[in-house]
Structure 1
């Protein structure tokens, strides 16, 4: 690991004495001058109502964080001298964290105790603590060495900005044979560096499959029928910085991994993005490790906003320092180029990209159906909405997660599964693992994989197996079958324009298989027509609501929430729309609950957009009864807010099918094309490909 960033070095030399105070001190005046000997390192929010104020603040040479809005910048004050500089320059500020006290993170204490008292966990690998990057690479190599007949390692084509190789393993019966047309399941983790469990569960699933091949009839049959691609760490540069700093210092005890610890922990423990230091430039040696990324802000590209599908739209920032910065262009980053080329060169019929946290199974699309897309039409529901929802529900029944669209969490564009589904037709999902935090104590990781409580014996293990079964099920993809000369190479290609929010990019699918000795082939593929050009439905709200009710609230302490009751007495209502607005560019969140007869609350919608984006949640066909609108202060100093519930009638409209697309199927011998034919195949369909000319010219 490189030299520690300034906040970490300061924390390591600080005296852990004073208690941590969380919240906004609303005095309207700067704190009184403190002596240097009494000063504790602080995180403060400096008022900067104009751009000139921000520029003036930058010239003071203080330790500015990347967490800022149009009227504030958060700053780490390391000494009384820093505070004096602010005061003398005429700035006012609020103290967010009064003492960034040095203490080992509560999570690290729990992990150390657990590892010391537990020789082997119940996980397939027996692991008892979080892996480092070296651990992941060693584990993949070990599996390939232990079971070489069913595991092979592969390297993705593009090295990271720091020159690291991104590694994966392929698992399947006779895995070293030429590609034989079997369906492909892909599972991956750690797009976002701080989301450590996403890599852990991906790696444990690999261990599970390899360990139980030949023991479990279910797993053995699945691996004999499919190929499984496992990429536990898609962003090794960022993950290495997060795990190295996080195992050293994590102020999780401030609020159990909540908002304050995410923003307050120095260094890269909560780094989100990759190691891009500036658009178009590669980092110098050690430069990324020295750049503190508090709360996920700061240097880097959010690789899960950098994919080509609708790149540059809502939910992806155009500001470099923001946590969701999308990059200079679609697929500008080697990490996303790797996944693009992998998915485009294999017929991935089902894909899971693991993240943390929120206990969610997310499916396409990432923006609300009535959002007007780049083609001037509503983006709509995904063409395969019913099937995607049904599979999501089946998986969510195993882990207890909510089964929702991506936009029901918050708007996103340029994400992995939105691109992969709309480009290839393979079903794609994001799993948001865990309820409360990015990297919880390791025993929680074990429970998430194996299941706990009412989900014991199920968990994400069972959800992943169901996804693999879906990948194998030909009813949910397509099949091309026929006869060709034994040993012939079959190549399936298609080139097209993938729409971004601003224009489009050129995309290509090119996959191959080898015909077996009997001259027959059965190739499991995705449909030839992409979902993005097929018909899609959306609900158009009436111009005026049936009824609206607005609630006004005042200041909420950071991390706290206020509930507002809303009763639906009307029957046959199509949509309940809930909007949350506030006057400042800070960050508030919205959840909508239905109150059951026993008084318990069931979450039915949420909106948790990033900083400065207002919240909007939709409940389709709301039942009669009482609803609770929960307003949470995630990171805001706003003095007031309004939340409005509106009931609407709506019409179901259809954006009609635009195209019918075909693959080009080539039959080749030693690189020479002997025949090419077009193939059109829909989901759930098996078509016969007649390659008579190839056979006659063989």
Structure 2
């Protein structure tokens, strides 16, 4: 199974991949385009052209080094080709999902698909946080942001030398699993909890650190439902047209829907929702951050929101290509860039302003800075590319790819003052 996932992840040999998917020899005529095709898009070499791709309604999986990976219908693929872009079909998205899950269906999602049991399910994640709180009662405090749409608790754990008290120390927030299929990020947040509670960091004595391992528990549970990967991104909140899901990372209040950086279509993967903070998960996170304004001063000074994939360190703003604009001075931008470059140097990621990828609006990083002036970054984790396998890397990489960010986490903690 792991061998197959690496075959699909390989960037070279698109014809060979087609042969694997279509069951015909390499070099044979390209099969009829599937209803949901995985494509490599070439020619989108600028942020403007990548934004045009993102605005076309396709599901953008990742973007790096001039190539975007998207899931598109035949009509969407034809429309992008008409814009002068080159699209290489890499496979049938739904067939690849089924094959990636090993073809094993279980009635209930008791665990991840066979071979990936090293990932934490929602229940296992909650149990891990409870165990950490029980083992370290003086330095941890486990609580809740509130409930998801389907009624699941959204746990948040505080780590500090005197966790029960609200001390006058800089606060730092780490959030993960905003998008359901990005399970490696939950492991990243759990790794942060484990490292900081094990006494490996001096920051526990000088910071109050909050960690939210899953901001989208409903979507995460659904994504492994039946023991098969679903490729699900959004939350599980029903829409008026019968579809399901709002993209939480297009639903935050700052500049919500301002700049054509999200979709008004409920069927779209980047659907912004009917109104700002309409997703209960987003409303819960915003309420928590708002509550950390004490005496008129925001206590949270630094934040990283972890995503997969593309190996990027991104900073605000996402809603505009401008660096100096409303809410961002040159000195503030330079500060963001300097720290972002330091973190990227520590983990080998590529640093950039968020809009350098493509325009987004209503995302968490723009809201954290635009509303609260929190030094907020988006990390796109391992791998640098990979199509379907970019979201479902083998569990053998968890330890290496989470510890890879230890230095970057420490750099943010150092600069959160």
| Same-fold call, TM cutoff 0.5 | yes
Correspondence 1:59-78 to 2 at 5 A: 68=73
Task: Verify the 8 A CA contact 1:309 1:418 in the aligned structure 2.
Answer: yes
**Partners of 1:165 and 1:196 in 2: how far apart?**
17
Match 1:147 to one of 136, 140, 145: 136
Correspondence 1:223-622 to 2 at 5 A: 223-245=204-226, 248-250=227-229, 269-279=230-240, 299-312=244-257, 313-346=259-292, 347-370=299-322, 384-434=332-382, 435-436=384-385, 437-450=390-403, 459-471=404-416, 473=417
**Partners of 1:130 and 1:337 in 2: how far apart?**
27
Tell me by how many angstroms 1:465 deviates.
1.6
Tell me by how many angstroms 1:397 deviates.
1.2
Tell me by how many angstroms 1:130 deviates.
0.4
After TM superposition, which residue ranges in structure 1, 4 or more long, deviate above 3 angstroms?
22-27, 42-46, 66-73, 94-108, 111-115, 367-372, 377-383
Cα deviation 1:587-640 (Å, max 9, x = unaligned)? xxxxxxxxxxxxxxxxxxxxxxxxxxxxxxxxxxxxxxxxxxxxxxxxxxxxxx
Task: Verify the 8 A CA contact 2:327 2:370 in the aligned structure 1.
Answer: no
Task: Verify the 8 A CA contact 2:102 2:114 in the aligned structure 1.
Answer: no
Task: Verify the 8 A CA contact 2:102 2:113 in the aligned structure 1.
Answer: no
Find out whether 1:131 has 2:76 as its counterpart.
no
Task: Verify the 8 A CA contact 1:274 1:300 in the aligned structure 2.
Answer: yes
Task: Verify the 8 A CA contact 2:254 2:371 in the aligned structure 1.
Answer: yes
Shift of the 105–164 alpha-carbon distance from structure 1 to 2, 3 Å rule, reads closer
TM normalised by structure 1 equals 0.44
Q: Which residue of 1 aligns with 2:170?
A: 183
Tell me by how many angstroms 1:299 deviates.
2.2
Find out whether 1:100 has 2:95 as its counterpart.
yes
TM normalised by structure 2 equals 0.71
Task: Verify the 8 A CA contact 1:421 1:428 in the aligned structure 2.
Answer: yes
Tell me by how many angstroms 1:383 deviates.
5.6
**Partners of 1:400 and 1:140 in 2: how far apart?**
29
**Partners of 1:341 and 1:412 in 2: how far apart?**
22
Correspondence 1:154-233 to 2 at 5 A: 154-157=143-146, 159-177=147-165, 179-212=166-199, 216=200, 219=201, 221-233=202-214
**Partners of 2:271 and 2:341 in 1: how far apart?**
31
- Which structure exhibits the higher relative contact order, with contacts defined as CA atoms closer than 8 Å and separated by 6 or more residues? 2
Shift of the 405–24 alpha-carbon distance from structure 1 to 2, 3 Å rule, reads farther
**Partners of 2:92 and 2:135 in 1: how far apart?**
50
| Further displaced range: 377-386 or 185-194 | 377-386
Higher percent of residues as strand:
1
**Partners of 2:120 and 2:99 in 1: how far apart?**
22
Higher percent of residues as helix:
2
Q: Which structure has the greater CA radius of gyration?
A: 1
Task: Verify the 8 A CA contact 2:36 2:74 in the aligned structure 1.
Answer: no
1:100 match: secondary structure: helix
2:276 match: secondary structure: coil
Task: Verify the 8 A CA contact 2:181 2:232 in the aligned structure 1.
Answer: yes
1:20 match: secondary structure: helix
Shift of the 24–236 alpha-carbon distance from structure 1 to 2, 3 Å rule, reads farther
**Partners of 2:132 and 2:234 in 1: how far apart?**
29
Tell me by how many angstroms 1:342 deviates.
1.2
Tell me by how many angstroms 1:325 deviates.
0.4
Q: How many residues align?
A: 333
**Partners of 1:441 and 1:462 in 2: how far apart?**
23
Shift of the 301–188 alpha-carbon distance from structure 1 to 2, 3 Å rule, reads same
Tell me by how many angstroms 1:95 deviates.
12
**Partners of 1:175 and 1:327 in 2: how far apart?**
36
Task: Verify the 8 A CA contact 1:370 1:379 in the aligned structure 2.
Answer: no
Cα deviation 1:192-239 (Å, max 9, x = unaligned)? 000011111011110110012xxx4xx1x3111111101000111101
**Partners of 2:164 and 2:214 in 1: how far apart?**
23
2:367 match: secondary structure: helix
Task: Verify the 8 A CA contact 1:368 1:380 in the aligned structure 2.
Answer: no
**Partners of 1:425 and 1:239 in 2: how far apart?**
30
Tell me by how many angstroms 1:355 deviates.
0.3
Tell me by how many angstroms 1:423 deviates.
1.0
Listed as ranges, the gaps of 5+ residues in structure 1 are 1-17, 32-41, 47-65, 74-93, 116-127, 251-268, 282-290, 292-297, 451-458, 474-698
Cα deviation 1:522-580 (Å, max 9, x = unaligned)? xxxxxxxxxxxxxxxxxxxxxxxxxxxxxxxxxxxxxxxxxxxxxxxxxxxxxxxxxxx
**Partners of 1:187 and 1:97 in 2: how far apart?**
35
2:130 match: secondary structure: helix
Q: Which residue of 2 aligns with 1:86?
A: none
**Partners of 1:316 and 1:171 in 2: how far apart?**
34
Tell me by how many angstroms 1:463 deviates.
0.9
2:285 match: secondary structure: helix
2:158 match: secondary structure: strand
Shift of the 104–192 alpha-carbon distance from structure 1 to 2, 3 Å rule, reads closer
**Partners of 2:114 and 2:75 in 1: how far apart?**
44
Shift of the 276–398 alpha-carbon distance from structure 1 to 2, 3 Å rule, reads same
Tell me by how many angstroms 1:369 deviates.
3.2
Shift of the 107–443 alpha-carbon distance from structure 1 to 2, 3 Å rule, reads farther
